[in-house]
């Protein structure tokens, strides 16, 4: 692998990060512009109580997805050498968030079908990071 030039060395990680960025943009659009549909379809939220609050939180999360999607795309194109580390930071942040929510007493009660998608999303990030470290 020593024959790879610096651009191709980071190609897999930066291309995966670019795809993750596009996915986050899609998630952002779904969470903000189609929040009612996303709440029923993926989150399986019970909107019979605190409906507006739940949709506002979903929309706020969508705004964050729009931001992270744009940042991931920019990093993947303008700062390729750090793409692999961003791919490690993504599942690390989710793990920290899960730990923090549990420590705060937050327990998931809904079906949340999006969890399967998120598990695949996080595994792709982690697997790409490991692959890129092994091949650098």
Phi, psi of 46 (to 5 degrees): -90, 100
> Could you tell me if 86 and 68 are in contact, meaning their C-beta atoms sit under 8 angstroms apart?
no
Query: Model confidence over 113-126: pLDDT tens digits?
Result: 677 888 999 999 99
Which pLDDT score, from 0 to 100, does residue 29 have? 96
List the chain domain ranges: 6-134
Query: Model confidence over 3-17: pLDDT tens digits?
Result: 334 567 799 999 999
Region 92-120: mean pLDDT is: 84
Confidence label for 40 from pLDDT (cuts 50, 70 and 90): confident
User: Which of 134, 128, 135 shows the shortest CA–CA distance to 14?
Assistant: 128
pTM for the predicted model, two decimal places:
0.85
Region 15-21: mean pLDDT is: 97
Which pLDDT score, from 0 to 100, does residue 114 have? 74
Name the burial class of residue 22, with classes exposed (0-12), middle (13-18) and buried (19+) by CB atoms within 10 angstroms of its CB: middle
Find the DSSP H helices in 34-135: 35-38, 51-78, 83-103, 114-134
Other CB atoms within a 10 A radius of the CB of residue 134 amount to: 8
pLDDT, greater one: 37 or 2: 37
Which pLDDT score, from 0 to 100, does residue 111 have? 65
In three-state secondary structure terms, 3 is coil
What tokens does 76 get?
Answer: 């993947």
């Amino acid at each position: 692998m020593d024959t790879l030039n610096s651009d191709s060395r980071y190609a897999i990680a930066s291309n995966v990060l670019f795809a993750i960025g596009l996915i986050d943009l899609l998630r952002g659009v779904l969470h903000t512009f189609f929040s009612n549909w996303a709440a029923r379809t993926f989150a399986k939220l019970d909107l019979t109580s605190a409906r507006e609050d739940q949709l506002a939180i979903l929309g706020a999360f969508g705004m964050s997805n729009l931001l992270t999607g744009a940042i991931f795309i920019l990093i993947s194109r303008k700062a390729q050498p750090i793409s692999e580390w961003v791919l490690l930071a993504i599942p690390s942040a989710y793990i920290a968030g899960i730990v923090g929510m549990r420590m705060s007493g937050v327990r998931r009660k809904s079906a949340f079908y999006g969890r399967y998608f998120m598990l695949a999303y996080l595994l792709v990030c982690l697997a790409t990071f490991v692959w890129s470290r092994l091949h650098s």
